[in-house]
Structure 1
Amino acid sequence: MLLIPAIDLKNGHCVRLRQGRMDDVTIFSEDPVSVAQRWADEGAERIHIVDLDGAVKGQPVNLKVVEAIAAAVDVPVQIGGGIRDEETIQRYLNAGAAYVIIGTKAINTPHFLRDVCLEYPRHIIVSLDAKDGRLALNGWAKVTHFDAIEAAQHCERDGVEAIVYTDISRDGMMAGFNVESTRALAQSVKTPVFASGGVSTLDDIRKLREIEGDGVVGAVIGRALYEGGFSLADAVKIAKS
């Protein structure tokens, strides 16, 4: 099981949001590169980055920071937030990212996802952010009528490398991740699924281990690591046991 520390970028800083609200921000560091190095030193095998400004604007805002992080660590980096054209995908791959994460564009323009999966095989991950089983788009600003499981199945047919599934009602709330919805989504596809949103204790890591056989291959972890809920080293021990 792969545990992936998250670095959310806003105005060049490392921050966390509560329930995806851009007006409820906690700044954890003004030096995201050092944060990435810390997670790599503590055993992270991949770093998850979200350009929150980019998610709102629909284009990269913190590209230079992403490039600096990718250059500073020896583990793969995955980046999402505002990736809505092939030029942006290429720019991030050129900047050193191993994977790019498509969100809103994958749902609003399905042929785009299919095309980029063909153009950049094994580099495309889709982020499905949901509340009560319905997808949220545009930086979580809009909850739609689209069903998350049906969307996951469409993404699988298009050839995505993995799916990051976030329950935004749990994200940043330290309330535990949604085991039931995450398991249900993972069982509906063969594509690897990463849980995201709400992982807050070592017991949550143990719960993840219990549904690993259902296709949940890991988790993106944010606030719990920054607020000292547990150490990454301890979580990795459980994940690898």
Structure 2
Amino acid sequence: MKNFIIPAIDLKEGKVVRLFKGDFEKTKVYSSSPEDMAKLFEELGFKRLHVVDLDGSLEGMPLNLPSIRLIRKAFSGSIEVGGGIRSVETCKVLHEEGIEFFVVGTLAVREPRTFERMVELFPERVILAVDSKGGKVAVGGWKEESSTSPQELALKYENIPIWGYLYTNIDRDGTLEGVDTKPYVEFKGYTKKPVLASGGVASLEDVKKLMGIVEGVVVGKAIYEGRINLRELL
């Protein structure tokens, strides 16, 4: 189970927060120390962390690099970072900080050639973020809706060496409403690459529903609200 769950650390102004359906006006702070959260996940034996620079997702460049650096020092497993990665240069900076995976979405929609160049330079290390809202891919920190469907985005990049996909159901993200498995089942029909799920997880039962469908699940609010007791996983 610990190899399947990927704890999320969402950063806003250096603090660990969660949003409700991606709404920056509905932010809840859970910790002022991302480093301490990373240490906890390390102690509990998790192998991978999902880190999001929320400020960076709006500005188009990483703004929480000091916090990301502290998380990297505290956690020995793999770290995937998303939020504001819109250039090859940003990937190089994160690479130098020891980050293994780059979660990229907006660039893939807006600047396909730059995205393909990024994947060429960092093969098997770019995770394509498919952020679905109302059946379309959202971009720019989830503030804008594109005309592209999740399936179209998958088919467009299936044959280049991305690591795989992070499919987020924005309509359920941060709601604790429970998981809807249907979008993930449908999406898996379009790719042979790994898919990570995100959005709506409220319990271990939700996690179990996704096992056998996707390769991993990003869990944030359910952990911070105590819906999933991580120590029980030990």
TM-score range, shorter chain: over 0.9
Q: Which shows bigger deviation, 112-121 or 52-61?
A: 112-121
| 1:151-230 correspondence to structure 2 within 5 Å | 151-211=153-213, 216-230=214-228
What amino acid is the match of 1:138? G
Q: Give the structure-1-normalised TM-score.
A: 0.93
For 1:43, the aligned partner's letter is: G
The two structures, once aligned, show a CA RMSD in angstroms of 1.3
The Cα shift of 1:233 comes to 4.5
| Equivalent in the alignment of 2:21 | 19
CA distance in 2, matches of 1:12, 1:148: 31
Using the alignment, how far apart are the partners of 2:104 and 2:169 within structure 1? 17
SS of the counterpart of 1:26? strand
Q: Distance in 2 between matches of 1:155 and 1:80?
A: 18
Instruction: Please give the alpha-carbon distance, in whole angstroms, between the structure 2 residues aligned to 1:58 and 1:210.
Output: 35
SS of equivalent residue, structure 2 residue 159: helix
Q: Equivalent residue of 2:226, what SS?
A: coil
Amino acid paired to 1:217? E
Which amino acid in 2 is paired with 1:186?
A: K
1:47-82 CA-to-partner distances (Å, cap 9, x unmatched) read 100000000000110011111111111111110000
Paired residues for 1:115-130 under 5 Å? 115-130=117-132
Find the counterpart in structure 1 of residue 107 from structure 2: 105
| Secondary structure of 1:33 counterpart | helix
* Aligned-partner residue type, residue 43 of structure 2: D
Structure 2's unaligned 5+ residue stretches are: none
Rounded to whole Å, the distance in 2 between the matches of 1:107 and 1:13 is: 29
Q: Which runs of 4+ in 1 moved over 2 A?
A: none
The answer on whether the counterparts of 1:113 and 1:158 sit within 8 Å (CA) in structure 2 is no
Query: Matched residues, percent identical?
Result: 35
Tell me the equivalent position of 1:87.
89
**Unaligned 5+ runs, structure 1:** none
TM-fit CA distance, 1:127? 0.8
Provide the secondary structure at the position in 1 that maps to 2:215.
Answer: strand
Residue type at the aligned position of 1:124: V
1:178: how far off? 2.2
Q: Is the 8 A contact 2:34 2:70 kept in 1?
A: no
Q: Tell me, what secondary structure is at the counterpart of 2:71?
A: helix
Query: Does the 8 Å CA contact 1:16/1:26 hold for their aligned counterparts?
Result: yes
Say if 2:107 and 2:114, in contact at 8 Å, map to a contact too.
yes
Query: d(CA) in 2 for partners of 1:111 and 1:186?
Result: 25
Aligned residues: 232
Distance 2:45 2:182 in 1: 28
1:210 deviates by 4.1
Matched, 1:4 2:6: yes
Given candidates 139, 144, 147, the residue that maps to 1:145 is 147
Structure with greater proportional helix content: 1
Q: TM-score, normalised by structure 2?
A: 0.95
2:42–2:74 CA contact under 8 A, matched in 1: no
